[in-house]
Structure 1
Amino acid sequence: MEKLSVIASSPLFEMLSTAELHRLAELARARNFAAGEVIFEEGDLGDSLFVVVHGQVEVARRQPGGGMHSLAVLSPPEFFGEMGLIDKDFRSATVHAKTDVDLLQLSAQDLRDFRSTHGDGFTFIVVNIARSLSARLREANVRLASKA
């Protein structure tokens, strides 16, 4: 997997300079999960952001009385896990590999290291995360309104 090309193609990292993209590629770790394998579980402490490179992941929440409710299926170049970085809280959902999946992982420490040398680039990433979260909230509101 060519980490640099994946990072450069992700909307999350748009507007970063070539040097910033190279630094993120150095920091990112390639991860592979087989279909059905859990990436993280609801209740785990959030400490990493993941970018989908190949395959699909499913985000789901436990339902009262058992079972899981699917919230989203994510494909390249989507990302997940960002909430654990923002609020340093426990994961609110479980994510598993829906298919065999390749991911790039950036930990909170990786992003702190990046911020220390590339503050402007870090700001762009935070703004792009906020834009994505805002879009996801709008989509959820539309879905809720259509059910009413």
Structure 2
Amino acid sequence: MSMKGLLGWLPPAPPPRDGPGAGDSQLFASAFDSQRATPAQLVPWHARAVEVGARPLSARRGGPMLQALWARDHSMALLGADALQRLTRFFEFATVPAGRDVIRQDEYGNFLVVVLTGTLAVDRALAWGEPVRLAETRPGELLGEMSLLDSGQRFATCTTLSDCELAVLGAEAMDEMMARDAQLAAGVVALLARKLARHLRLVSARLGDNRL
């Protein structure tokens, strides 16, 4: 589908948060409501950041790191250098110590993270209780994009194996991106969906191997 066609599927962009109508329900921020879960079950980034002892990372450091990593990623590089530069304005950046669960399986979350430095383990507990290591991440990889897109429960637990620098994109920031830069938001959603489909295929194969 062309970018123009993709934009046609998106609802009208919500107003900017500091403009008329700021504070109204927005697409990504309000999608959690459709899951029929209580607000207390939602774990946004600001709550998780406090829990894991995250320290703010300067955008002056985090922004160029994110741009450089995604410029080398075949999928994300399709956005182009200018779009990648604009994209970093919507991210928060943080440093998280080793041994912390940035994302937990089965919780409701509304943010994704991009690994800038360090390594995280991606583990899933199976129905019979046995954990399976699905992956260990490398810089530039995405975690949590599925819950950002559909506000559903997290598929796996993501734990820092070393001190990590992370870029974080939350639901409110995605809504702001749609309001301020709809073309960029459409491209990001399309690429996130493509990456998610690829991840799910790999995970399905990995879990299938563990059933043998």
TM-score by length of 2: 0.61
2:111 paired with 1:48: yes
Shift, 1:123, TM fit: 1.6
Q: Is the 8 A contact 1:4 1:21 kept in 2?
A: no
Instruction: Single out whichever of 37-46 and 63-72 deviates more from structure 2.
Output: 63-72
2:162 paired with 1:104: no
Check if 1:38 corresponds to 2:101: yes
| Aligned sequence identity (%) | 26
**Alpha-carbon distance, 1:52 to partner:** 0.5
* Partner amino acid, structure 1, of 2:179: S
**Other-structure match for 1:29:** 92
Give the distance between the partners of 2:187 and 2:168, measured in 1 at CA.
18
More strand by percentage:
1
- Provide the C-alpha distance between the structure 2 equivalents of 1:146 and 1:95, rounded to a whole number of angstroms: 19
2:114–2:168 CA contact under 8 A, matched in 1: yes
- Tell me if structure 1 keeps the 8 A contact 2:122–2:135: yes
CA distance in 1, matches of 2:165, 2:152: 25
Q: Is the 8 A contact 2:62 2:167 kept in 1?
A: no
Is the Cα–Cα contact under 8 Å of residues 38 and 95 in structure 1 kept in the other structure? yes
1:101 CA displacement: 0.8
1:104, distance to aligned residue in structure 2 (A):
0.2
Q: How many residues align?
A: 148
Conserved? CA contact 1:20–1:118, under 8 Å: no
Q: For residues 138 and 68 of structure 1, do their structure 2 counterparts lie closer, same or farther at Cα, with a shift above 3 Å needed? A: closer
Structure 2 residue aligned with 1:61? 124
Which among 186, 201, 206 is matched to residue 138 of structure 1? 201
Gaps of 5+ in 1: none
Larger Rg: 2
TM-score between the two structures when normalised by the length of structure 1: 0.83
Match of 1:3 in 2: 63
Q: Report the 3-state secondary structure (helix = DSSP H, G, I; strand = E; otherwise coil) of the residue aligned with 2:122.
A: strand
Cα gap change, 1:112/1:8 in structure 2, threshold over 3 Å: closer, same or farther? farther
